[in-house]
Amino acid sequence: MSVVSLLTLASLLLAASGQQPTFSRTSNRDGRCIYSFTVPSPVETSCSELGEAANAVRELQRERATQQREVESLGERVQVLERWMAGREEAGGHEARSDVRRLQVEKLDLLRRLERAERENARLRDGQCPGLRETPLESHQIARGGRQDVFNLSSRQRAQPSREASSWSFENTEYQELKSEIITEIPASKMIQRSESGTSITTQQSPGCGMLEWVGEPVTFQKADSIAGRYGVWMKDPEPVPPHSREHIWRINTVGTDVRRLYEYQDLDQFMKGYTSKVYMLPEPVESTGGTVYRGSLYYQKRRSRSLLRFEMKTETILVQKDLPHAGYRGAFPYSWGGYTDIDFAVDELGLWVTYSTNQAHGAIVISKLDPNTLEVEQTWTTAIRKRAVANSFIICGILYTLNSYSIQNAVINFAYNTNTNSSKALAIPFENRYRYNSMVDYNPAEKKILAWDNFNMVMYDIKLSKI
């Protein structure tokens, strides 16, 4: 039952009793959502009608809980299926192969149902005001005052993010890809309610800054030779500190359950030949492709957590570990390709940033400017761009740009959000996913280029910025 039908029910109940009800929904400062039914009370009456309205609200909560269980049981079935498939694959032979094919079809079907159940869950959740998200009905009070009965239903937002279907531990790339195929290409524009085409976006007065106007063709520099390199991240340091220089390149292959190897290359030539100059073993495993190198440190998200880490390469130690407040992780708000890309670092002319989402933001992209020494959040912006609906993002001169697809060859940069003016703008700048599976897209402010990891391939794009 939706909130709308609940309200209709409440009004009918109250109208039938010959009274003039009013209804209001408000959120107070600490995020509590308050539903108020107000009816005149000329005489002392029972609150039975109001009691029924409360029942209807409880019904709504129960329906959500049922949906949640459905999502969870579907997830368990997918896991069981995957174990069978692994067994049949080992068995080999013609019959086993046809079993595997059948199981693959069944798995795809299960994943589709899972996705539908998740969507239904989100719909139920989004039909309510923010304070009611993911919460059991906490309390309802009936207050009487003078000539009115006031009925409040309130609930408080839970501090922890909800357990989401996508937070199950599927480690293989296949699951992540199948899942992403199903959820991809939800129009991001649905989140943009205000028409902002007339807004002029101005940028901070940094040298060489401007709006992105054009992205060139990808140039391929290296190709990973094992499945571990299907996704990954490659980086250069825009502000290196000795012993490193602007020439150095770092790379992490991110497929696997315990990703800890950071490869270092002397320069582009060595990188293209595949000769590493050093391999760091990271003290904590890496989650996905969101890392970046800046001022001699690798910044990355610790696996299965919202912890941000600063690994200093010179001392090979983690200097700072800090939780990113309220950030969703482990598949709560990934980019459309999946891959647990919940938290993505970025570096631009203005410094270090992190892009993510929270329950409070309903999955919209949240950007925080970070102090690179302490990883403290300095300032935060909430955009109207749905994170799951875009394939990736990067920041140039304080402006966040989003990519509409990770897999179509003729993709476009579809939105810009300017943290200088807090305004967004729809764009259509062509961007080529040459190898049709882009898992990382980062801007490098020293090179003034975009680095990306497209289906085993490490590529670079020229860009053009407008003059201010």
Ligand X SMILES: *[C@@H]1O[C@H](CO)[C@@H](O)[C@H](O)[C@H]1NC(C)=O
Q: Give residues in contact with ligand X (CB under 6 A).
A: 379, 381, 421-422
Instruction: Give 5 or 379: the residue with its C-beta nearer to ligand X.
Output: 379
Please identify, using beta-carbon distances, which residue of 321 and 421 lies nearer to ligand X. 421
Residues 6+ away with beta carbon under 8 Å from 105: none
Task: Evaluate whether 208 touches 349 at the Cβ level (below 8 Å).
Answer: yes
How many Å apart are CA 327 and CA 310, to the nearest integer? 17
Distance of closest approach, residue 380 Cβ to ligand X, in angstroms: 6
Q: What is the closest distance, in whole angstroms, from the C-beta atom of residue 429 to ligand X in the complex? A: 24
Give the shortest CB-421-to-ligand X separation in angstroms.
6
Select the residue whose beta carbon is closest to ligand X and give its number.
422
- The total of other beta-carbon atoms located within 10 Å of residue 187's CB is 11
As measured in angstroms, the least distance from the Cβ of 127 to ligand X is 27
- Nearer to ligand X among residue 19 and residue 421 (C-beta): 421
Residue 167's alpha-carbon distances to 68, 79, 102, 422, in angstroms, are 13, 13, 26, 31
Q: Smallest gap, in angstroms, from Cβ of residue 419 to ligand X?
A: 7
User: What is the smallest separation between the CB atom of 422 and ligand X, expressed in angstroms?
Assistant: 4
Identity of the residue, 270 or 420, whose beta carbon is nearer to ligand X in the bound complex: 420
Kindly give, in sequence order, each residue whose CB lies less than 8 Å from that of residue 115, ignoring residues fewer than 6 positions away. 179, 182, 183
Nearer to ligand X, 277 or 379 (CB): 379
CB of 193 to ligand X, least distance (A): 18
| Residue nearer to ligand X on the CB measure, 220 or 421 | 421
For 267-297, give one letter per residue: b (16+ CB within 10 A) or e.
eeebbeeeebeeebebebebbbbbbbbbbbb
Least Å distance, CB 200 to ligand X, is 13
**CB-based contact 329:304 (threshold 8 Å):** yes
The sign one gets for the Cα dihedral 293, 295, 301, 302 is: positive
Nearer to ligand X, 276 or 423 (CB): 423
- Per the document, the length of the chain is 468
In this structure, are residues 416 and 393 in contact, taking their beta carbons and an 8 Å threshold? no
CB closer to ligand X, 209 vs 215: 209
The phi and psi torsions of 28 (rounded to 5 degrees) equal -95, 180
